[in-house]
C-alpha cells in the first residue's frame, strides 16, 4: 500500500503557494497541526488575517481586541489598513436599547475611547507602521474577522448614524473628532487618511479650536489625504474652514483649504469632485485654478464656466477619465452671457483625448440630453 504523501515535505515555496489558496478556516486548522506547519504558513496567515482590520470605535471590546493585535510583535507590523467605523446607538423605547446607549455613552464621555485608540496608534508607530486610515460614520458588516461584543447584536449596527450628523451638544464627544485627536497625540504617521463625504462635512462644520489644532498637527504627518466625493462649495464656505486655514498658513484664502494642505507636502487624493449649483453663485473658475492630485472624476451640475478653462483644467489633470456635465452654461470667454454653440463646445470636448467617458445632459438650448462621447 503506497504511503500517504507528506504535505510538509514539499518545498517551502510550494507549501506557501498552496496555503494562499486555503480557506481561512483551513488555514487556521493547518497552523494547529504542527509547529513546522505553523512556521511555514506564518507569513500567509499574517497577511490574510491581519493586513487590514475593521474597528468599531464606539465599542470598547472591539478597540481592546485591536490593541492586542497591534502590540503583537508579528501581527502588529502587518496592519496596513484600518477601517474605523463610528456607530452611535440612539435611545429607543425598545428595552434593550437603554443598556446599549448607556454603555456607549459611558465609554465616550469617560474619554476611554480616545485613550484606547491613542494606545492602538502608538503601538503601530512603535512598529514603524504607516497605515491607511479610513473613517466612516456608519457601521460595518460583521464578518468572522471582526470580534464583536455579545452586547451588540448584528441588527443594531447602523441604527445610530443620525447622532453623528446632528448639531453638537455642549458636552459633545463626537467620535470622529477623537480619531483625529488620537492621531495627533500618538504621533502616528499614516500613509493615507481617507475620509468619507459625510464625515468631512461634519468635521468642517463642527470643529472647535482644540479639534482644529489636533487636526492640523495630524495632517502634517499624513502622506496622502483622500476625501471621497468632495462637494464644492459646501466644504469651502464654512467659517470653520477659515479658522483651519489660519492654522495651516499665515496667508488666508477661503477657497484654498485643500491646497494649503497640499502645500504642507500632503498630496490630496480625490475620487471625485462635484461642483453643484449654489445660492452664492460659486464660480467654477475658482475650482479650475486649483491643482489636485489623481483626480479621476469631474462632475459639474448647473455650472457656468469658460469653455477653454475646462479644457485647460483637464489637460493639467491627465488622471481624469470621467467627465459628467449636467445643466451647464459654457461661454466663450469674451462675453459671459454668450453661450457657446453646441458645435463649438463639441470641438472643445474633442481636445480632451485623455478622458475616457464624457456625458453631457440637460443643457439648454442644445436639447435635454446628448449621447455619451
Q: Count other Cβ atoms within 10 Å, centred on residue 349.
A: 18
Contact 293, 262 (CB under 8 A): yes
Mean pLDDT, 10 residues at a time, over the chain (373 residues)? 53 65 62 62 72 86 92 90 78 68 84 94 93 72 36 33 35 65 87 70 57 67 61 41 42 42 57 47 62 73 80 89 83 75 88 89 57 41
Residues 26 and 78 in one domain: no
Q: Supply the pLDDT for residue 259.
A: 53
Residues 109 and 172 in one domain: yes
Q: Supply the pLDDT for residue 65.
A: 92
Residues 20 and 138 in one domain: no
Phi–psi pair at 269, nearest 5 degrees: -105, 130
What DSSP state is assigned to residue 92?
Answer: -
Task: Tell whether 42 is covered by a domain.
Answer: yes
Residues 141 and 290 in one domain: yes
Q: Supply the pLDDT for residue 369.
A: 45
Task: Tell whether 245 is covered by a domain.
Answer: yes
Q: Supply the pLDDT for residue 120.
A: 96
> What is the rounded CA–CA span in Å between residue 197 and residue 203?
10
Q: Supply the pLDDT for residue 112.
A: 93
Residues 28 and 61 in one domain: no
Residues 224 and 89 in one domain: yes
**How far from the centroid of its chain's Cα atoms is residue 119's Cα?**
22
Task: Tell whether 75 is covered by a domain.
Answer: yes
Closest CA to 267 of 293, 289, 302: 293
End-to-end CA distance of the chain: 69
Which helix or strand (DSSP H or E) is residue 275 part of? strand 273-275
Q: Supply the pLDDT for residue 67.
A: 95
| Helix ranges restricted to H, 187-340 | 197-205, 209-219, 239-248, 257-263, 284-288, 307-315
Task: Tell whether 204 is covered by a domain.
Answer: yes
Residues 60 and 45 in one domain: no
Task: Tell whether 371 is covered by a domain.
Answer: no
Task: Tell whether 100 is covered by a domain.
Answer: yes
Domain that holds residue 295: 51-361
Kindly report whether the global pTM for this prediction surpasses the value 0.75. Answer: no
Residues 116 and 242 in one domain: yes
Q: Supply the pLDDT for residue 226.
A: 63
Q: Which residues of 95-105 are buried (b: 16+ CB within 10 A; e: fewer)?
A: eebeebbebbe
Task: Tell whether 372 is covered by a domain.
Answer: no
> What is the rounded CA–CA span in Å between residue 218 and residue 113?
18
Tally of domains within the chain: 2
Task: Tell whether 369 is covered by a domain.
Answer: no
Q: Supply the pLDDT for residue 212.
A: 61
- Per the structure block, which three cell numbers stand in for 101? 446607549
Residues 140 and 261 in one domain: yes
What DSSP state is assigned to residue 369?
Answer: B
Sequential DSSP letters for 305-351: EEHHHHHHHHHT-TT--EEEEES-EEE-SS-TTSBPPHHHHHHHHTT
Residues 44 and 55 in one domain: no
Q: Supply the pLDDT for residue 269.
A: 59
Residues 289 and 214 in one domain: yes
Q: Supply the pLDDT for residue 166.
A: 36
State whether the Cα torsion 195-223-120-107 is positive or negative. Answer: negative
Residues 256 and 302 in one domain: yes
Amino acid at each position: 500500500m503506497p504511503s500517504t504523501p507528506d504535505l510538509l515535505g514539499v518545498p517551502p515555496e510550494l507549501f506557501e503557494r498552496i496555503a494562499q489558496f486555503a480557506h481561512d478556516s483551513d488555514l487556521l486548522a493547518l497552523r494547529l497541526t504542527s509547529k513546522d506547519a505553523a512556521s511555514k504558513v506564518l507569513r500567509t496567515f499574517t497577511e490574510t488575517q491581519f493586513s487590514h482590520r475593521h474597528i468599531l470605535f464606539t465599542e470598547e471590546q472591539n478597540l481592546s481586541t485591536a490593541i492586542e493585535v497591534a502590540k503583537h510583535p508579528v501581527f502588529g507590523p502587518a496592519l496596513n489598513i484600518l477601517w474605523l467605523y463610528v456607530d452611535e446607538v440612539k435611545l429607543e423605547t425598545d428595552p434593550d436599547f437603554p443598556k446599549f446607549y448607556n454603555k456607549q455613552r459611558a465609554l465616550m464621555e469617560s474619554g476611554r475611547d480616545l485613550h484606547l485608540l491613542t494606545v492602538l496608534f502608538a503601538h503601530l508607530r512603535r512598529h514603524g507602521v504607516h497605515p491607511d486610515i479610513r473613517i466612516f460614520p456608519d457601521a460595518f458588516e460583521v464578518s468572522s474577522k471582526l470580534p464583536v461584543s455579545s452586547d451588540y447584536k448584528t441588527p443594531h449596527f447602523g441604527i445610530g448614524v443620525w447622532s453623528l450628523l446632528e448639531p453638537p451638544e455642549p458636552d459633545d464627544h463626537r467620535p470622529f473628532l477623537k480619531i483625529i485627536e488620537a492621531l495627533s497625540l500618538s504621533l502616528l504617521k499614516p500613509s493615507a487618511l481617507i475620509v468619507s463625504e459625510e464625515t468631512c462635512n461634519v468635521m468642517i462644520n463642527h470643529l472647535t479650536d482644540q479639534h482644529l489644532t489636533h487636526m492640523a498637527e495630524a495632517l502634517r504627518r499624513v502622506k496622502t489625504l483622500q476625501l471621497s466625493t468632495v462637494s464644492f462649495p459646501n466644504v469651502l464656505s464654512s467659517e470653520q474652514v477659515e479658522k483651519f486655514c489660519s492654522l495651516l498658513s499665515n496667508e488666508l484664502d477661503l477657497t484654498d483649504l485643500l491646497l494649503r494642505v497640499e502645500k504642507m507636502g500632503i498630496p490630496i487624493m480625490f475620487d471625485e469632485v462635484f461642483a453643484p449649483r449654489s445660492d452664492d453663485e460659486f464660480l467654477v473658475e475658482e475650482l479650475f485654478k486649483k491643482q489636485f492630485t489623481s483626480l479621476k472624476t469631474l462632475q459639474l451640475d448647473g455650472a457656468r464656466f469658460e469653455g477653454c478653462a475646462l479644457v485647460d483644467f483637464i489637460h493639467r489633470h491627465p488622471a481624469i477619465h470621467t467627465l459628467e456635465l449636467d445643466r451647464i452654461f459654457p461661454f466663450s470667454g469674451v462675453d459671459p452671457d454668450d453661450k457657446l454653440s453646441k458645435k463649438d463646445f463639441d470641438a472643445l470636448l474633442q481636445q480632451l483625448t485623455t478622458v475616457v467617458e464624457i456625458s453631457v445632459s440637460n443643457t439648454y438650448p442644445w436639447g435635454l440630453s446628448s449621447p455619451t462621447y
